[in-house]
C-alpha cells in the first residue's frame, strides 16, 4: 500500500507560510553547516562549552552555556525563497526583542554579505515559523544563506524551508579557514545590539569571512582556567580576550587575567592572542584605569619574555571619534554604533597582526 513518507518524518511535510509553499529539511544536519555551537550536552542540547568544562568552572556557567550568542547555520540553495521553523528551550528577550528572539538572514558571503531581514518570535508564542522572500537573488542560480541565531535565547530545533523541488547544498567554504574564538563579558555575549547579526563577533566573522565562536558570558567572564583549556583544545587561528569587565575590581582582575592568559599560552604557545580592555572607560573612575593597567601588564610581560604572538588593543580607542558618547544604551552595553566601531577596529587589528602574515 502506498504511503506518504511525510507522515513518518515531518521534515518532509510541506507547509504554506505567507502565501508560499515550503518543504522543510533538518537544520542541524548535513549539508547544512552549524557554526558556533561546537558541542551537544548530555541531554541533547546545543551548547557553547561541554558539560565537563561547565563542571570544572568555579563560575556557574550551567545556564549560560546553552544561550545563543550569534551562532549560525549556513547552506546554499537555488530556492526563490526560504524559511524556518524553530522551537526554543528557553526564551529571553534581552535588550531588544529582535536580538533576543529573532533570526537574521544574510545572502552571499564575507564583505559581500547582504542583510535580507530579521524574523522575530511573536510575543506569547513558543515557536517561530517565518519566510524570507524579499531581496533574494532571482536568477535561479545557487546562492549562500547565513542564518544568525538569537543572542540570549536557546534554540532547541531548527528546520530549513525551501520551495518544493529546490536543491539544498553545503555552503561555500569561508575564505579564511579555522575560527576566531572570543572570550568576554556581556559586551561580547550580546551587548545591546538591535539584532544578532550586528553583534561585533558576528560582524567580524562576515568582515573577515571566517567562522567565529562567541564565548561571551554575561556577568560571568571571570577567567576560569577550564575555559582557557577548552579554547586551546579547539585550536583557533586567533583568540580575542575581552576580559576585564566582569572582575569585581582591579585586584580580582590582577589575580586572574595574566594567570588565564598564561594557562592558555602554555597549551597553545604560537596561537595569536589579542588582549583588549573595556571600551566604556571613564578616566575620572580610577578603577577603570587600574583595570586597563592590569591588561597592559599582562601584554608587556609576555612581550618582554619574547612572545611575538600577543597584541594589545586599548579599549578606550574602540569608541574613539565623534560618536564616543553615543556608543552605548546605558554607559556600558554597546548599541549598534558601538558594535560597528568595535568590529571595525578589532578586525583592522587582526588584519594587520594576524592575517597579513
Confidence of residue 17 (pLDDT cuts 50, 70, 90): confident
- Listed by start position, the domains of the chain span 5-169, 179-353
Mean pLDDT score, 155-159: 97
Instruction: Tell me if residue 315 falls in helix, strand or coil.
Output: helix
| CA distance linking residue 26 with residue 46, whole number of Å | 15
Detail the DSSP E strand segments found in 149-259. Answer: 154-162, 168-169, 179-184, 211-216, 238-242
Read off the pLDDT of residues 52-86 as tens digits, 9 standing for 90 and up. 999 999 999 999 999 999 999 999 999 999 999 99
Cα–Cα distances in angstroms (integers) from residue 69 to residues 14, 140, 158, 178, in the given order: 30, 33, 16, 19
Q: What is the mean pLDDT of the chain?
A: 93
Structure confidence at residue 299 (pLDDT):
98
Q: What is the pLDDT of residues 164-222, one digit of tens each?
A: 999 999 999 999 999 999 999 999 999 999 999 999 999 999 999 999 999 999 999 99
Task: Reply yes or no on whether the pLDDT at 6 is more than 50.
Answer: no
Residue 65 has a pLDDT of: 95
Task: Tell which residue, 117, 122, 183, 187, has the closest CA to residue 151.
Answer: 187
pLDDT in tens, 23-43: 999 999 999 999 999 999 999
Q: Nearest-CA neighbor of 121 among 80, 145, 146, 152?
A: 152
Q: What is the helix (H) or strand (E) element at residue 38, kind and residue range?
A: none
| pLDDT for res 15 | 74
pLDDT given for residue 213 in this prediction: 98
pLDDT score recorded for residue 259 = 98
Cell triple for 190: 550580546
Grid-cell match 580607542, residue found: 317
pLDDT, tens digit (0-9, with 9 covering 90-100), for 325-346: 999 999 999 999 999 999 999 9
Query: In this structure, what are the phi and psi dihedrals at residue 275, rounded to the nearest 5 degrees?
Result: -95, 130
pLDDT band at 16 (very low <50, low <70, confident <90, very high): confident
List % helix, strand, coil for the chain (3-state, nearest 5). Answer: 30, 25, 45
Q: Which CATH architecture has domain 179-353?
A: 3-Layer(aba) Sandwich (3.40)
Share of the chain above pLDDT 90, in %: 88
pLDDT digits (tens, 9 = 90+) for 257-301: 999 999 999 999 999 999 999 998 877 678 889 999 999 999 999
Architecture of the domain defined by 5-169 = Sandwich (2.60)
pLDDT one-digit tens code per residue, 82-135: 999 999 999 998 678 999 999 999 999 998 999 999 999 999 999 999 999 999
- Quote the pLDDT of residue 18: 80
d(CA 143, CA 56): 42
Length of the chain: 357
**Predicted local distance difference test score (pLDDT) of residue 70:** 94
Q: Is the pLDDT of residue 12 over 90?
A: no
Distance set, CA 231 to CA 37, 102, 265, 297, 302 (Å): 13, 28, 11, 22, 19
Pairing outcome for strands 72-77 and 143-148: antiparallel
Give DSSP secondary structure letters for 134-152. Answer: SS---SSS-EEEEEEPPSS
Amino acid at each position: 500500500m502506498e504511503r506518504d513518507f511525510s507522515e513518518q518524518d515531518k521534515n518532509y511535510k510541506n507547509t504554506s507560510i505567507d502565501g508560499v509553499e515550503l518543504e522543510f529539511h533538518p537544520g542541524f544536519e548535513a549539508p547544512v553547516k552549524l557554526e558556533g555551537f561546537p558541542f551537544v550536552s548530555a541531554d541533547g542540547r546545543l551548547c557553547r562549552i561541554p558539560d565537563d568544562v561547565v563542571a570544572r568552572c568555579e563560575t556557574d556557567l550551567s545556564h549560560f552555556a546553552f544561550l545563543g550568542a550569534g551562532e549560525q547555520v549556513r547552506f546554499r540553495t537555488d530556492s526563490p525563497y526560504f524559511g524556518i521553523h524553530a522551537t526554543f528551550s528557553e526564551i529571553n528577550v534581552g535588550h531588544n526583542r529582535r536580538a533576543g528572539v529573532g533570526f537574521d538572514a544574510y545572502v552571499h558571503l564575507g564583505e559581500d554579505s547582504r542583510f535580507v531581514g530579521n524574523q522575530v518570535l511573536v510575543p506569547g508564542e513558543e515557536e517561530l515559523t517565518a519566510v524570507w522572500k524579499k531581496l533574494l537573488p532571482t536568477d535561479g542560480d545557487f546562492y549562500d544563506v547565513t542564518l544568525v541565531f538569537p543572542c540570549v535565547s536557546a534554540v532547541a530545533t531548527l528546520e530549513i524551508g525551501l520551495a518544493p523541488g529546490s536543491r539544498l547544498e553545503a555552503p561555500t567554504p569561508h575564505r579564511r579557514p579555522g575560527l576566531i574564538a572570543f572570550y568576554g563579558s556581556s559586551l561580547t555575549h550580546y551587548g545591546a545590539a538591535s539584532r544578532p547579526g550586528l553583534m561585533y563577533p558576528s560582524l567580524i566573522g562576515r568582515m573577515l569571512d571566517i567562522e567565529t565562536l562567541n564565548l561571551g558570558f554575561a556577568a560571568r567572564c571571570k577567567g576560569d582556567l577550564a575555559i582557557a583549556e577548552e579554547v586551546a583544545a579547539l585550536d583557533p587561528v586567533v583568540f580575542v580576550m575581552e576580559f576585564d569587565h566582569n572582575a569585581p575590581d582591579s585586584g580580582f582582575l590582577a589575580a586572574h587575567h595574566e594567570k588565564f592568559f598564561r594557562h592558555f599560552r602554555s597549551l597553545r604557545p604560537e596561537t595569536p592572542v589579542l588582549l583588549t580592555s573595556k571600551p566604556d572607560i571613564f578616566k575620572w573612575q580610577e578603577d577603570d584605569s587600574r583595570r586597563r593597567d592590569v591588561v597592559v601588564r599582562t601584554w608587556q610581560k609576555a612581550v618582554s619574555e619574547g612572545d611575538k604572538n600577543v597584541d594589545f588593543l586599548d579599549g578606550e580607542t574602540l569608541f574613539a571619534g565623534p560618536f564616543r558618547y553615543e556608543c552605548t544604551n546605558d554607559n556600558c552595553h554597546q548599541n549598534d554604533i558601538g558594535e560597528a566601531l568595535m568590529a571595525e577596529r578589532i578586525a583592522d587589528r587582526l588584519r594587520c597582526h594576524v592575517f597579513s602574515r
